[in-house]
Amino acid sequence: MRINIEKIRIEDNPSNEVTSHRLLRKRKVFDENGNMDFHPDGIFSPRIFGKYSKCECGALRFPGICSICNTRVLNRKKIPDFYIKFENLDIPYLNIEISKYQKYKDVILGLMRYEGFLYDGEYVKYDLDSLDLTLFDVEKITWGKDAVLSLGVDEDWYNNQVSDKLYVPHTSLRKITVSGDQYFLGELNNLLLVILKKKNKLKMFEGLSTEDVFTQLSLRKELLSYINDEYKQLYNIIAQRKKSIIDREVRGQSVTGAARATVTNNFELNEDVALIGYWFIPTLYPHLYAKYTNAEGYTDIKSINEELQDYIILINRQPTIGEKSIIAMHPQFSEEDEERYVLQINPIVQDGLAGDFDGDVYLMIALYTKEACQEAKKLLPSKNYIGNAGGNIRNAIFEDLDYVMQQSYEDGKAAKIHSMITGK
């Protein structure tokens, strides 16, 4: 079976272009707030790569560039294609469709990768260890695109096999490790800086001389080798995320009103409140998502939370083997980007669910009608401290109270203690 792979075309947009090989704005690594002071045109520029949901200072919460902190706000569903642009370098795609010119396959590929040139019509592999460059008349040398087209190759075909842009991943995929005053860029970031330096060096030589064929070939060949290394790093990123389908399944399902999320602890939450990552809004409450999301893709999470005051969501820890394996909670959504995929609850409700925080995944089921929400309130943690089977306290909030009361009353007063706790 033949599979046609459509090549990615990156559109020209100066807002998405990385131009500087400098990592930092100044020699001093950190600014007065302790943040790394990145160059505005570099590979970590806040003006180019920005942040999701809100800017650095919090003044801007929809796509654009903040006039105060100069940080760009991105829409997670419409992430731009960031890139490095080359004015005088044709970057061949990895999957060149060469079957049309099978007769000259090796020659064409060699020319497109700047690994050789045509001398008086004959292909010569460009190897500095074996060639005596003084023996060549530069007037008889053809290289690059001109050499490929001289073989009878269609120019439209050639243009469809090359690009003048190199894709740059978002900073979330190539984070910097900071330890005290030291920082570690990682291989991918170092490669990008080298490529930008080589690109600027190539531009400098283009301005000085266009007659030195071998210098031009050497610069392009070297630059392409680094670009190919960058491709390998990108594939490593993809390989490391090879279980992303499972990862996506854990984070949530595209079944209306139901989703799964890893549970984490939040001691500041009310016992009856579940704080859910904003990534789940379209799945759990599609009508509210449509109502409070504008044309630019910005979602007004605060307004959604206000409407959810009387809503109830069911939380289920599977397997459902205990009487408290399903509880009801009031849903609220977190605006924080780092919390977008998780469900947060107060640890005091975990005893009833028989769960913990070592990676447990809970099912969330949204209820929409007033009648269903009203009935489900009977399952709120605040109303379910006593286990039906043995009359024991299931959630941890009253453990201290229970202990104090047991010490305060004489033996045989268990019924009175029970009455004070349950109100019965």
Helix (H) or strand (E) holding 258: strand 258-265
Least confident of 22-31, 98-107, 234-243: 234-243
Residue 61 lies in a domain: yes
- Looking at the chain, the whole-number percentage of residues with pLDDT higher than 90 is 28
> Can you tell me the mean pLDDT for 280-285?
90
Give the model confidence (pLDDT) of 285-333 as tens digits: 988 988 998 877 888 999 999 999 989 999 988 876 666 678 899 999 9
Residue 71 sits in the same domain as residue 205: yes
Taking 60 as the threshold, does the pLDDT of residue 56 lie above it? Answer: yes
Q: What is the Cα–Cα distance from 387 to 399, expressed in whole angstroms?
A: 14
Taking 50 as the threshold, does the pLDDT of residue 343 lie above it? Answer: yes
- Which pTM value belongs to this model? 0.56
Residue 186 sits in the same domain as residue 323: no
Taking 50 as the threshold, does the pLDDT of residue 253 lie above it? Answer: no
Residue 260: helix, strand or coil by DSSP? strand
Chosen domain end from 221, 240, 259? 240
Taking 90 as the threshold, does the pLDDT of residue 53 lie above it? Answer: no
Residue 8 lies in a domain: no
Residue 156: helix, strand or coil by DSSP? helix
> pLDDT band at residue 1, thresholds of 50, 70 and 90?
very low
Residue 7 lies in a domain: no
Residue 236 sits in the same domain as residue 257: no
Measured CA to CA in angstroms, residue 96 lies from 50, 84, 90, 149, 205 at distances of 34, 21, 13, 16, 29
Residue 50 sits in the same domain as residue 131: no
The domain that holds 323 is classified in CATH as: 2.40.40.20
Residue 300 sits in the same domain as residue 356: yes
Residue 285 sits in the same domain as residue 216: no
Chosen domain end from 191, 218, 240? 240
Q: What is the Cα–Cα distance from 237 to 66, expressed in whole angstroms?
A: 30
Find out whether the peptide bond into 14 is cis, omega within 30 degrees of 0. no
Residue 154 sits in the same domain as residue 173: no
Residue 174 sits in the same domain as residue 64: yes
pLDDT for the residue numbered 184: 83
Q: According to the per-residue pLDDT averaged within each range, which of 34-38, 221-225, 351-355 is highest?
A: 221-225
The more confident residue out of 180 and 120 is 120
> Can you tell me the mean pLDDT for 66-75?
90
Quick check: 233 and 188 in contact, CB under 8 A?
Answer: yes
Sort strands 258-265 and 122-125 into parallel, antiparallel or unpaired.
unpaired
> pLDDT band at residue 102, thresholds of 50, 70 and 90?
confident
Chosen domain end from 143, 163, 183? 163
Taking 50 as the threshold, does the pLDDT of residue 152 lie above it? Answer: yes
Closest Cα partner for 73 from 339, 332, 297?
297
> Can you tell me the mean pLDDT for 267-278?
92
Taking 60 as the threshold, does the pLDDT of residue 247 lie above it? Answer: no
Residue 6 lies in a domain: no
Q: According to the per-residue pLDDT averaged within each range, which of 16-25, 29-38, 379-388 is highest?
A: 16-25
Task: Show the tokens assigned to 322.
Answer: 């205990």
Give the model confidence (pLDDT) of 353-409 as tens digits: 777 788 888 999 888 888 888 888 888 888 876 554 445 555 554 455 555 555 655
Helix (H) or strand (E) holding 331: strand 326-334
Task: Show the tokens assigned to 207.
Answer: 């301005």
pLDDT for the residue numbered 254: 43
> Can you tell me the mean pLDDT for 55-62?
88
CA angle 195, 200, 209 (to 5 degrees): 130
pLDDT for the residue numbered 36: 84
**Looking at the 3D structure of the chain, how many domains does it have?**
4
Q: What is the Cα–Cα distance from 353 to 348, expressed in whole angstroms?
A: 10
> Can you tell me the mean pLDDT for 28-33?
76
For helices 187-208 and 213-240, the axis angle rounded to 10 degrees is 160
pLDDT for the residue numbered 237: 64
The more confident residue out of 151 and 354 is 151
Residue 69 sits in the same domain as residue 179: yes
> Can you tell me the mean pLDDT for 216-221?
88
Residue 4 lies in a domain: no
Least confident of 74-78, 125-129, 141-145, 179-183: 179-183
Q: What is the Cα–Cα distance from 195 to 58, expressed in whole angstroms?
A: 34
Alpha-helical regions (H) of 354-398? 370-376
3-state secondary structure 264-278: EECCCCCCCEEEEEH
Domain that holds residue 406: 391-424
Residue 301: helix, strand or coil by DSSP? helix
> pLDDT band at residue 251, thresholds of 50, 70 and 90?
very low
Within 10 angstroms of residue 1's Cβ, the number of other Cβ atoms is: 2
pLDDT for the residue numbered 274: 95
Quick check: 260 and 249 in contact, CB under 8 A?
Answer: yes
